[in-house]
């Protein structure tokens, strides 16, 4: 009869407790730290309770002539539009750069020159070229999400193990078979990692994009709160960006597990 080690069982129980309760404990500790800083009197930082009350107030009324859900939708639309364009264009571009040596030799040097430029540095150029219209805002977010998608798609292709190609050759796979049956499935993990990184980056670039004369959006609310010395409104905008960003991240994780069944474990 196989005996179990009580010490290992205790460690397993403690690990499960930490695994399921750890995130909530960290959130509580963060709120306590936030509350203690705001209550110290040395900062104008509003307390979590004040922020919550302001959040309830703005959700039940209008902010800058629009309901809060409208600002949320506008920001979501800008981020998702930039993300969709970057996926449709960036994934094939990165795969082509990793798969085809001629394509890589032509486009990779230019890409490496543009890649280090931060998205906010494009604000003056886009303002000069396209004005302060909606296209400029989406274009700035696109510059923030396009690069990680291309980089990860390219890296996923070049990191496919050589043995995979050798097995394909043994079974008589042609070049197109290699690409669609070996390279793409092997690169999915890296591609999804790039899209996940790009999704978070899109929310981070949102504030810079909505500096271009925007009259709605969560980034606009943060800027309006800052200019009006209304720190509570700015924090409400930050909380909303964090909440919806996290919601999108968890939703994307479920989508990734559905498209990549081997990652469900």
**CATH code of residue 202:** 1.10.3720.10
Residue 258 located in a structural domain: yes
Distance (Å, whole) CA 105 – CA 93? 13
Residues 6+ apart with CB under 8 A from 205: 119, 120, 140, 141, 143, 144, 145
> Domain span at residue 139?
52-263
Together in a domain, 17 and 69 = no
Residue 106 located in a structural domain: yes
Residue 142 located in a structural domain: yes
Digit-coded pLDDT (tens) for 37-49: 888 777 678 888 8
Together in a domain, 28 and 94 = no
Distance (Å, whole) CA 144 – CA 83? 9
Residue 174 located in a structural domain: yes
Mean pLDDT (whole number) for 239-243: 87
Residue 1 located in a structural domain: no
Together in a domain, 141 and 234 = yes
Together in a domain, 245 and 170 = yes
Question: Is residue 89 classed exposed, middle or buried when 0-12, 13-18 and 19+ CB atoms within 10 A define those classes?
Answer: middle
Together in a domain, 189 and 238 = yes
Digit-coded pLDDT (tens) for 86-137: 999 999 999 999 888 899 999 989 888 888 888 888 888 888 888 878 888 8
Together in a domain, 178 and 130 = yes
Together in a domain, 81 and 19 = no
The total domain count for the chain is 2
What average pLDDT is seen over the chain? 83
How far is residue 98 from each of residues 46, 89, 173, measured CA to CA in Å?
Answer: 49, 15, 19
Residue 239 located in a structural domain: yes
Residues 6+ apart with CB under 8 A from 159: 187, 190
Give the number of other CB atoms < 10 A from CB of residue 198: 27
> Range with the lowest mean pLDDT among 2-11, 28-37, 71-80?
2-11
Together in a domain, 126 and 165 = yes
Together in a domain, 118 and 135 = yes
Together in a domain, 82 and 36 = no
Distance (Å, whole) CA 88 – CA 184? 15
Together in a domain, 35 and 135 = no
Together in a domain, 25 and 117 = no
Residue 95 located in a structural domain: yes
Torsion of CA 218, 222, 225, 227, to 10 degrees: -130
Digit-coded pLDDT (tens) for 146-191: 999 999 999 988 888 888 777 777 777 777 778 788 888 888 888 9
Residue 150 located in a structural domain: yes
């Amino acid at each position: 009869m196989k005996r179990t080690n009580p010490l290992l069982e205790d460690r397993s129980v403690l690990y499960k407790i930490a695994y399921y309760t750890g995130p909530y404990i960290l959130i509580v500790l963060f709120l306590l730290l936030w509350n203690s800083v705001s209550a110290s009197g040395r900062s104008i930082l509003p307390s979590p309770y004040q922020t919550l009350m302001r959040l309830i107030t703005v959700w039940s009324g209008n902010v800058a002539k629009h309901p809060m859900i409208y600002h949320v939708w506008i920001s979501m639309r800008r981020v998702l539009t930039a993300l969709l364009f970057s996926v449709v264009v960036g994934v094939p571009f990165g795969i082509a750069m990793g798969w085809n040596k001629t394509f890589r030799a032509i486009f990779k040097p230019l890409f490496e020159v543009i890649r280090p430029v931060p998205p906010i540095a494009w604000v003056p150029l886009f303002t000069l070229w396209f004005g302060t219209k909606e296209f400029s805002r989406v274009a700035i977010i696109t510059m923030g999400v396009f690069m990680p998608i291309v980089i990860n798609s390219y890296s996923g292709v070049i990191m496919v193990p050589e043995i995979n190609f050798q097995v394909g050759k043994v079974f008589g796979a042609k070049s197109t078979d290699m690409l669609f049956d070996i390279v793409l499935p092997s690169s999915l993990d890296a591609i999804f990692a790039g899209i996940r990184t790009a999704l978070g980056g899109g929310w981070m670039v949102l504030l810079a994009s909505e500096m271009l004369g925007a009259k709605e959006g969560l980034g606009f609310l943060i800027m309006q709160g800052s200019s009006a010395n209304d720190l509570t409104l700015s924090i409400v905008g930050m909380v909303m960006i964090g909440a919806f960003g996290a919601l999108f991240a968890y939703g994307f994780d479920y989508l990734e597990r559905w498209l990549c069944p081997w990652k469900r474990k």
